[in-house]
Amino acid sequence: MIDSLVNVWTRLDYQYVSLIRCGIATAATLLLTWRLANDSSQDSPKGRWSDRLLALLGAMAFLAWWNFGLFHFPAYIQVHEHYHYYLGAKYFPELGYTRLYQCTAVADVEAGLGSQVANRWIRNLATNELQRGRDIVKNPAECTSHFSPARWEMFKHDVAWFRSHRTADEWSIAQFDHGYNGTPVWGIAGTLLAGSQPVTDRRILALALLDPILIVIMWAFVWWAFGWRVMCVAIIWWGTNYLSRYFWTGGAFLRTDWLALALIGVCLVKRGRPGAGGAALTYATLLRVFPGLIIAGLVLKAAATMWRERAFRLTPEHKAFAAGSLAAGVVLIGLSFGVVGHGVSGGIDAWEGFVANSQKHLATPLTNNMGLKTVMSFEPRSRAAVLGSFWIDTPWDTWNAARRRVFERRQLAYWALLAAFLVALAFAVQHQDDWVTLVLGAALVPIATELTCYYYAILAIFGLLWRVYPSTGAMLCGLAAVSSIVPALLASDDDIYVVLSALMLLYVIAVIVHVIASMKRDTRYLLRSKTDSEIRRLQIGAKISEAIDNA
């Protein structure tokens, strides 16, 4: 029996695993929908059976993210990601944000691979344009002048290690990705962990084991703060969705630190530790920027409270959250100056380089980008299936230009939609618990940003709402299931991610609408106002509404 199971497991491929993930998410959707309509209390027989099934689906979803131990079929380590983030952190003083591929090309030439480099497409990270390798290496001193002789020899050794762990095609593909993009705060841990010794198999494996540790800690915090049932709902999104599957960042180097800190921050606020929660969420923000939108929900709530009370006064909890955020920001930015920038001037250069690098990436459309801007930039005649085989100077420049042109025509509509959503979000977060406002703030991520698909692991945060707003959990699992179906129906990446963007936008809008509708149905939330006169007035209004409904 065991031998048969092992044989079946080893025969699994990516398509079978994708089908299993979709099945888990579909079963979870049906289960949570059933629980909405039936007695699912823990003491009832139905409740006990549904709890057992939920636990089973949660465990299967957790294993599904790791492709049930098959990882990258079968490799565990994501060498491509380590190439960018290990070298990017270790040699940041020499490479900055713009010289990784140029210096790799020069190292390849010195290793006797000049003919391969000459014909290779390489991304110029200063402009994000693709160029032929022969143009990139015309002046090797543009790279080597930033290195000491000893550091250059070590860099060539490290490049050779990564090159030896890739096929020729994989190595060429790595050179037209989008470089190292860690913030200076990410570089604190990245630099210290990368160390100063030559790269080895053992060191890369050790670095690749950090993310699994963070993932386990993250889910332990969710269990501690919300219970195992809520944890299972959140895990089902995380483990079964198509967008942030293991393919992208599994087996990499500190690529889930931001997610762990974001969820841990919400957990800490839920358990009455707003200062620590603020510090964790600020750390997540300084690692990847966009988690700062989670905090926006709490900021909107605090602003609405001050407006309602006509007083610029924070609650004790909000003061503690702000203090934790400020302390974390000061400490982490200060450390980034010392560890990454090696002093004030170097720290300023590192942050200026990060800002310039971010602006460059924001102006560069990608086929796996997602969000409202992605949808607003889409038109049928500029799809990759139509334009992908045409270019002016480099591959994809016609497609990129078309996406930018379409968005420029529609950007007024984009800003209007963003403003309308902010108004709706401000209304939704009123009178909510602080941790709920943080979760709702995450709804801004697909509205206000355009991120690559794997960052939408952040939607796991909506699983935390399940006990308060049960239908949001069923919808989240349904979104995970559909996210695996869409790629099976469409062939082109930009088509896939535009459709998935639209579905994700519908989900976050549905969550906000559901919260607002629930608030209107439940008049008890109105009694959370701060003044006695308001309470009396609202109680009278509630009685009048009840009398009208009874009539």
> Cα(446)–Cα(369) distance, rounded to whole angstroms?
10
Tell me whether residue 107 is in a domain. yes
Tell me whether residue 175 is in a domain. yes
Tokens of 191: 């630099």
- Residue 313 or 538, more confident: 313
Q: Is residue 391 predicted with pLDDT exceeding 90?
A: no
Q: How confident is the model at residue 5 (pLDDT cuts 50, 70, 90)?
A: very low
pLDDT of residue 280: 98
Q: Which domain holds residue 128?
A: 79-201
Backbone φ and ψ of 464, nearest 5° = -70, -20
Q: Is residue 293 predicted with pLDDT exceeding 90?
A: yes
Sign of CA dihedral 27, 494, 86, 354: negative
Q: What does 230-249 look like in DSSP terms, one character per residue? A: HHHHHHHHHHH-STT-HHHH
Residue 129 and residue 123 in contact, taking contact as beta carbons nearer than 8 Å: yes
Tell me whether residue 480 is in a domain. no
How many CB atoms sit inside 10 A of residue 259's CB?
25
Q: What is the pLDDT of residues 415-439, one digit of tens each?
A: 999 999 999 999 999 889 999 999 9
pLDDT of residue 522: 67
pLDDT of residue 544: 44
Q: What is the pLDDT of residues 177-220, one digit of tens each?
A: 999 999 999 999 999 999 999 999 999 999 999 999 999 999 99
Residue 75 DSSP symbol: B
Tell me whether residue 161 is in a domain. yes
pLDDT of residue 531: 44
- Predicted TM-score (pTM) of the model is 0.91
Q: What is the pLDDT of residues 221-254, one digit of tens each?
A: 999 999 999 999 999 999 999 999 999 999 999 9
Tell me how far CA of residue 117 lies from CA of 105, 176, 336, 504, in angstroms: 6, 12, 35, 41
Which uninterrupted H or E stretch holds 262? helix 257-270
Tell me whether residue 185 is in a domain. yes
Q: Is residue 121 predicted with pLDDT exceeding 60?
A: yes
Classify residue 223 by burial, with Cβ atoms within 10 Å: 0-12, 13-18, 19+: middle
Please tell me the least confidently modeled range out of 3-12, 70-79, 496-505: 3-12
pLDDT of residue 392: 62
Q: What is the pLDDT of residues 328-349, one digit of tens each?
A: 999 999 999 999 987 777 789 9
In the chain, how many domains are there? 1
Tell me whether residue 51 is in a domain. no
From first CA to last CA, the distance across the chain in angstroms is 67
Backbone φ and ψ of 129, nearest 5° = -90, 150
Tell me whether residue 350 is in a domain. no
pLDDT of residue 177: 93
Classify residue 187 by burial, with Cβ atoms within 10 Å: 0-12, 13-18, 19+: buried
pLDDT of residue 384: 86
Tell me whether residue 163 is in a domain. yes
Residue 462 and residue 297 in contact, taking contact as beta carbons nearer than 8 Å: no
